Amino acid sequence: MKLNIVPAGSGWLWVKQGMRTFARQPLAMSGLFLLFMGLVSLLSVVPVLGSVVALALLPAATLGLMAAARQAEEGRFPMPTVLATAFTAGAAQRMSMLKLGGLYAVGFLGMIAVTALVDGGSFAEVYLNGAALTEELVQESGFQSAMWVGMGLYLPLAMAFWHAPALVHWHGVDPVKSLFFSLLACWKNKAALLVFGIAWLGVFMTGGLVISVLATLLGGPAVAGMLVLPAVMIMASMFFTSVYYTFRDSFTDDAPVDRNVEQGGLP
């Protein structure tokens, strides 16, 4: 397995590849994302424990969406069972993915615990227990500080788990080692991932602008309300489809890669 150091422009290429692959199977990819969100929402109904289980299953669900993108790229129609890809590849890989999920849950809850030290737990109550997010709460300095602390801590956590599920599943990497390799890959390719993030931010902002214009032309807030949910679902589905390409181009087997990609070996 090799780590590929890609140019910054790859970030925009990943966005386009995600959109193109989504366009091949829009119903399947949208439906899978909707199913994924439905399962998370169903688990979240159970206070605290449901949120913890949802966190632990997130790496496996992310892998499922990446596997769906891979199938769509190959011209196949991803079935709902693809979301369970992490648990259908044998006992050893299933245990590795469960271990990875446990690590993610512990890391995320640890981050939430730190925010509780900042604001007394208000941010944690909103995130884990679905407490009401009121205007007064958002304006509190403690809550704002906790939010920024949480965002700052979540960035390295997200980098560590960005490629980890795919590394565990497709390359058989140990869960703990996969966190290191994922973090290293994200750091080495930070320019491309920055372009990737900015490009997707632009896509979502453009989508919001288009919805606002259409709502103004066709009937106001009622029309906007009808358009927002499907538009967000489509854009989010395209985003998760594009995540597969960030992994595919960052790691390869020992086969030759494109000439303009610099390679760095991993032990």
Tens-place pLDDT, residues 108-145? 999 999 988 888 878 888 777 666 677 777 778 888 88
Spatial separation of the C-alpha atoms in residues 220 and 223, rounded to whole Å: 6
Q: Of 41-45, 171-175, 224-228, give the lowest mean pLDDT range.
A: 224-228
What is the pTM for the complete model shown? 0.85
Does residue 258 register a pLDDT over 60? no
Q: How far is CA 13 from CA 50, 82, 195, 243, 246, in A?
A: 37, 25, 10, 11, 10
Does residue 262 register a pLDDT over 60? no
Average pLDDT, the chain: 86
- The predicted structure's pLDDT at residue 216: 74
Closest CA to 36 of 59, 18, 19, 70: 59
H/E stretch holding 115: helix 91-119
Phi, psi of 219 (to 5 degrees): 150, 5
- The predicted structure's pLDDT at residue 248: 94
Residues in the chain: 267
Does residue 256 register a pLDDT over 60? no
DSSP character at residue 261: S
* pLDDT band at residue 257 under the 50/70/90 scheme: very low
At 3-30, the pLDDT tens digits run 999 999 999 999 999 999 999 999 999 9
Does residue 207 register a pLDDT over 90? no
- The predicted structure's pLDDT at residue 131: 67
